[in-house]
Amino acid sequence: MIKDGKFGKYGGIFVPELLIPALEELESAFLKYKDHSGFNKELNYYLQEFAGRPTPLYFASNLSKKLGCKIYLKREDLLHTGAHKINNTLGQGLLAKYMGKRRLIAETGAGQHGIATAAVGAMLKMPVDVYMGTEDIERQKLNVFRMEISGARVIPVDTGSKTLKDAINQAMRDWISNIKDTHYLIGSTVGPHPYPTMVKHFQSIIGEETKQQILEKEGKLPDAIMACVGGGSNSIGIFSAFIEDNVELIGVEGGGTGLSTDEHGATLCRGTNGILHGSLSRVLQDKDGQIKEAHSVSAGLDYPGVGPEHSHLKEIGRAQYVAITDPEALRGFQLLSKYEGIMPALESAHAIAYMEKYAKKPENKGKTIIVNLSGRGDKDMFLAAKLLGVET
């Protein structure tokens, strides 16, 4: 490898020897094409014409009035397939094509990354296999249908906790067995180097656009930026353009039934250093180092690890990480729907819920706040209705 893929002490390449040549090949292709004008021209074309970029930075006037702050929403929820995931799938899908790979594999929890990969696979004419835990398949049948109708094959994973973490394990095993013709399209800033760096690169367009847009609208940088953190790709995407600036960066984790319980996905708030899925980062684990299951009402935040750069940003104090419980997130889901007519994904609803808490603190009155609205809530309608006691 040319680089060690470390963010401070976090990150790295903790993988079986069999994967090293594949990671070396991927790193060198990424370094070659990330600043390649032909590659970027093609990627930008798809980002605009296929995905729908740039996304607006919307001034949420009703909530701003209600909360006494200036609140902006970065509308990644408007992208094709319903979330920011498509930025990364387009980037990696195209890179795989440039590398001469003929097959894409991906993991998915709730199905959003699987759907984005299936869409890109269909568009680029590459077969796609998506690994998905049997628990998640049961919870997200419609998303399975959506992947399959785009031509992807959904492979059930019945091992371990039967959720996202095990889907990643299984996708890695597939990749180990098929590295010659297959690209493993990881959906978040997790995994061994070069994934955390590469996924951040493809998601950093969120931050770049946001910075330009807020400067146009306000003539100055915001006071604070908030985003939900599961694996951490939408948050690192929007944070990336502001890391050197005097802007508060806040990541919001899935607090589940509360941080004093065992049922949460708050890896940065409650996890400890450990190695999972190829990198050193914060991990939810027992004292021996066995990985625990995470819990969150939103499947996208239901992961016991987190991208290594977030662990680094926390350690150096550059970003702050907080947690929002399941009921609070549901309140955020209702709040944005009611006041702005925008139904957020339950993941993004965590960031909305924290934004309300933040805005209500007297010391934050009048501040300019940007929330990364990473996904739309259509996928969560049935679950939200059920949780709110509405029959569907």
Q: Indicate which residues carry an active-site annotation.
A: 85, 107, 374
Among 291, 319, 345, 353, binds another protein (CB under 8 A): 291
Q: What does the alpha-carbon distance between residue 245 and residue 361 come to, in Å, rounded to a whole number? A: 23
The site map against another protein for 163-182 (x = CB under 8 A) is --xx--x--xx--xxxx---
- 375 residue type, one letter: G
Residue 211 Cβ, how far from another protein at the closest point, in Å?
35
Nearer to another protein, 13 or 227 (CB): 13
Q: Which range in 251-259, 284-292, 307-315, 382-390 contacts another protein by CB under 8 A?
A: 284-292
Q: Contact between 327 and another protein (CB under 8 A)?
A: no
Instruction: Give yes or no for a contact between 376 and 352, defined as CB atoms under 8 angstroms apart.
Output: no
Q: Which of 252, 283, 299, 306 binds another protein (CB under 8 A)?
A: 283
Q: What is the closest distance, in whole angstroms, from the C-beta atom of residue 284 to another protein in the complex?
A: 11
**Residue 154 · residue 147 · CB < 8 Å:** yes
Minimum separation from the CB atom of position 278 to another protein (A): 7
Q: Which residues contact 135 (CB under 8 A, 6 or more apart)?
A: 161, 162, 163
Strand bridging mode 57-59 / 70-75: antiparallel
DSSP string, 76-130: GGGSGGGBTHHHHHHHHHHHHHHTT--EEEEEESSSHHHHHHHHHHHHHT--EEE
Contact 196, 308 (CB under 8 A): yes
Contact flags string 6-45 toward another protein, x per CB under 8 A:
------xxxxxxx-xxx-----------------------
How far apart (Å, rounded) are the C-alpha atoms in residues 370 and 373? 9
Pick between residue 243 and residue 275 the one whose CB is nearest to another protein: 275
Given a contact cutoff of 8 angstroms between Cβ atoms, the answer to whether 299 and 164 are in contact is yes
> Which residue, 60 or 179, is less far from another protein as judged by CB?
179
Q: Which residues bind another protein (CB under 8 A)?
A: 1, 4, 12-18, 20-22, 159-160, 165-166, 169, 172-173, 176-179, 273-278, 280, 283, 285, 287-291
